[in-house]
Structure 1
Amino acid sequence: MPATRLMPTDEGQDLIDLTREICAKELRPKVDDAERAAATDESFPTEVFRTLGAAGLLSLAQPEEHGGYGQPYEVYLQVVEEVASAWMSIAVGVSVHALTAYPVATFGTPEQQAALLPGMLSGDQLGAYCLSEPLAGSDIASMTTRATRDGDQYVIRGRKAWISHAGHADYYTTFARTSDDGGKGLSCLVVPAEADGLSFGAPEKKMGLHCDTVREVMFDDVRVDADRRIGDEGQGMAIALSALDAGRLGIAAAATGLAQAALDLAAGYAKERRQFGRAIGEFQGLQFLLADMEAAVTSARATYLHAARLKDAGRPFSKEAAVAKLVATDAAMKVTTDAVQALGGAGYTQDFPAERFLREAKITQIFEGTNQIQRMVIGRHVLR
């Protein structure tokens, strides 16, 4: 595990320590069996999210008046990193859940915040973030799911794709078209799970993150009260992009935690595995490999913390969020690949989690905007 880092407050460090304790007692003992089981029986670790919520770890960065802890974003992200070092599917779920609450916490009216946030932040409820569609991934403006006003309700019809927690969530933060004005015609609504007409496709058969259930979500004339629209009509694009900036930092932190776990595994194995009469960690070739892994993890952590501190200071951080997502997820891919190499043949077996780490790392370069999209975002900022 990484050494303790300086925290803004003693309370922040206490929360990091609490997270490490929960990871040691509740997450690491379960992760291997749970991930293997979920690959076949589609089980979902609802109670783990309840545990994190009860400990207050799903509401760290939210203001105290909303029921949160009022912690800096950098504290929240370090909690995500710690969780990811123990169980990547859960860390991704924590980041996704934070995305689902972000529109209400940031753009909701006081009445909406009072009605919706207590359940979202307590761990009593788990959210899903319905943005992507079968033909609208990074191109949000091409979205076709439509919400039509009918009196004091909206009627939603369409399909969403690649939705984490689908079928298990208690609410669905949904972006739908309310006019034909391109990207300016999108709006955000919070759809309760019990809404009539809401259904789900079969779980996607993924190469990793088996405990992060992903399905299509179908809206077949789903009626939602108009007072569950967050922000103004047509404000959905701005809400979604703002949320994604924060969400990319969550994925960057999770990818860093995954890379740290792979490094820890490789270093521990290098000290125990013996060849030619000595531990393989004594060979310079492996030491150089571990050094490069450490440099990648440290660099990833630095990028997401830098972006978080800009966010905490109220300064623009979109470019830095894209940099953090790009650097951290590329680092996770490299470090997990190198961990398999460091373990040799053992790394290619399920006797060690190195192969799982590698499978989990790949998706981090794809979701929350592919790394090619991150390069486009960064390039545009550089040229401004």
Structure 2
Amino acid sequence: MTERRTVRIAMNGVTGRMGYRQHLVRSLLALREQGGLDLGDGTTLWPEPVLVGRRAHVLKAMADQHGLTEWSTDLDAVLADPGIDIYFDAQVTSAREEAIGKAITAGKHIYTEKPTATSLAGALGLARRAREAGVKHGVVQDKLFLPGLLKLKRLIDGGFFGRILSVRGEFGYWVFEGDWQPAQRPSWNYRREDGGGIVVDMFPHWEYVLHELFGRVTSVTAHTATHIPRRWDEHGEPYAATADDAAYGIFQLEGGAVAQINSSWAVRVNRDELVEFQVDGTEGSAVAGLRNCRVQHRSSTPKPVWNPDLPATVSFRAQWQEVPDNDVFDNGFKAQWELFLRHVVLDEPYRWDLLAGARGVQLAELGLRSCAEGRRLDVPEIAL
């Protein structure tokens, strides 16, 4: 007979787009729909979300919609509840450090979106406090669990590329200004004073993708821009966009490879997916996106010849081969939630912790400084 073990999780900021769709609905509620998380020892883990936020009527409606019984606008009261096992944070960045600090003091295990703080000092402070408190902690690094990047990791582990030379990434899409069509992202993303900016948002992603797949980032050169200086908020009111909406980065990696990644909310998509990485090596190349991955091996590489006087007679894209799934890929956020829950309950290994989150904050901080100073900056290793 299977034993059911309940884990109560305070979910702060779950009324936001990411917190609601990916973490609540597609992760924890999806786990409940499948009957809980089978721990493999005759125990099924049952996640019990406790919704936390500022708007009572929204929280109540959300709880009612999904058959949940617990919600609160009083974070301190929730953290004082000894029955809460885990604190999860998906708030705006500017509110995250204080809330996580309170949760650590209350002895809760921590799982959080990134960036974990608005400064490297703050991010390292949280990591040290969590270590000293003896609580388990994890940071969302969802892109590692995307099917396209899992296929790319399979190629790397199999030695497909030989020596990796370079990585080129393209991320972004056109976010409407909000005047004649509603914006797809919240207005705070475009106000620096509220913790907005694409560098703060995306460089932490690029840090863990590069670190996990290709090697530690050892230096960064970045240029940022605010291409759209005037936007309209959720109430139709115009405001000045004070944060960067595009960033162009060059990252030197340990081992010698170079990565170039463009990130923009002011670019129209002319690629197969919203993010794509091209990896070139001595033995082969690959282009990986959210779900798909295509390869071209050395043995089947064509021999292009530059001749601008003649039209191209072949499709270059057709010369690449699709990498098969060879596996069933679950939602990336849900997959990482499962690993963190097993880490908390079974003490299984888990390396995407608050120190890993601090590396992302460090890279964002140095990227902004690189642009401000107009120079390349070294990225020193950090430790607690």
Give the TM-score taking structure 1 as reference length: 0.23
Task: From the two aligned structures, give the one with the greater helix fraction.
Answer: 1
Answer with 1 or 2: which has the greater Rg. 2
Task: From the two aligned structures, give the one with the greater strand fraction.
Answer: 2
